[in-house]
Amino acid sequence: MTLRADETRLLLIGETQIKLLERLSNACAVSGDEGEVRKIVIEEIKPYADELKVDSLGNVLAIKHGVKEHAMRVMLSAHMDEVGLMLTHDNGDGIYRFEIMGGIAPSDLAGKQVWIGKEHIPAVIGLKPLHLGKGDSLKKPIDLEDLHIDVGPAKGAEKVGDRAVFATKFTQLGPSLRGKAMDNRLGVATLIELVRHAPANIDLQAAFTVQEEIGLRGARVAAYAFNPDLAIVLDSTPAYDLPAWDSDENVRYNTRLGAGPAIYVADSSTISDPRLVRFMIRTAEEHKIPYQLRQPGGGGTDAGAIHKQRAGIPSVSVSVPGRYHHGPASIVRLSDWQHTLNLVSAALSGLTQEVLAADR
């Protein structure tokens, strides 16, 4: 059966999807050590994918073929990794020095509880006690050099090279979801849903990528392997929509919670393909799905690597907005996630060759 372009199925985010996001959020998968999330992804998509493999960097690459021959090849990408820490030196007695992998502010680290390694060994990030500081030393910004990871007396299970993440358990708070690594387990959970309900008019090429947070490394080889006609990147982007305390209007919010999926026009690594931006907007308006344009500026997604692959790949990113990313816990709205899934699903069903044949 071929779906007509205007025939969009509504995919609902319910208990099952939230439970899956919970598992993904609680899993530990700092860049280069994505195994725990990879295992969940494979388990979830295996029954639905026509082809499935793990490439040499650890990306999960899955294809769900459309019913037509020469259907458009559409790459959907979501990174599996999260920012975190790596133990770099054993100081003895369960004390470790560490490095930050990806972007985390050292000020976010002091005093936080973490889980280390595949066994989620509990530990704490220590800082010299305030009581012992003197005068100006209390005012100086926290530096990575001031911090260490303490597992209590060494358990023997942790070692240099192990990753550590914030020890945050996922929770639902009314209309919001709170957890670590929402950037980008939200994208991963969304892509799993899309593989399960792939529309028949396209060849869906799903890339669950590695090492995005340390330089879009997995997406680069995934895009080369897939050689798609176009790419849509699913991620989660910062919402900085808190009130401005000096009573000026906050006009630099990047995105806002509750305003729907954020469509990227440009960020520091990509200028989105204007035909795809217009197509996403048109799709949202036709289907009465709320959306927002992410304010152009800093940040980046896997699109930064994908659009420059081979002879150039038209790309656009769509993100669920979230507050406090790259910290111990993000807050996102369930409704934004739902609308993001609907928008991308409607866009895939409505895709035709004409979208890319249009003027830029």
Footprint of Zn ion (CB under 5 A):
183-184, 235
> Shortest Cβ distance from residue 33 to Zn ion (Å)?
16
Q: Which is nearer to Zn ion, 149 or 316 (CB)?
A: 316
User: Alpha carbon 282 to chain centroid distance?
Assistant: 24
Residue 296 is classified by DSSP as S
Residue with tokens 């997406």: 219
Q: Token digits for 233?
A: 């990147």
Minimum CB separation of residue 124 from Zn ion in Å reads 26
Residue in the structure block whose two tokens are 């060759």: 353
Q: Minimal distance in Å, beta carbon 235 to Zn ion? A: 4
Q: Which of 212, 213, 249, 354 is catalytic?
A: 212
| Minimum CB distance to Zn ion, residue 296 (Å) | 17
Task: Identify which of residues 184 and 345 has a Cβ nearer to Zn ion in the complex.
Answer: 184
Nearer to Zn ion, 158 or 235 (CB): 235
Looking at residue 185, its amino acid is R
Residues 6 or more apart whose Cβ sits within 8 Å of residue 297:
254, 266, 267, 268
**What phi and psi, each to the nearest 5 degrees, are found at residue 3?**
-80, 140
Closest to Zn ion by CB, 193 vs 203, is: 193
Q: What phi and psi values does residue 240 have, to the nearest 5 degrees?
A: -120, 60
Is 69 one of the catalytic residues? Answer: no
Task: Give me the least distance between CB of 78 and Zn ion, in Å please.
Answer: 9
User: 72-82 burial, b for 16+ CB within 10 Å, e for fewer?
Assistant: bbbbbbbbbbb
The DSSP H or E segment spanning 37 is: helix 35-45
Closest alpha carbon to 343 in 260, 274, 229, 271: 260
10 Å CB burial of residue 50 (0-12, 13-18, 19+) is exposed
- Report residue 194 as tokens: 């899309």
Q: Which is nearer to Zn ion, 149 or 320 (CB)?
A: 320
Active site (catalytic) residues: 212
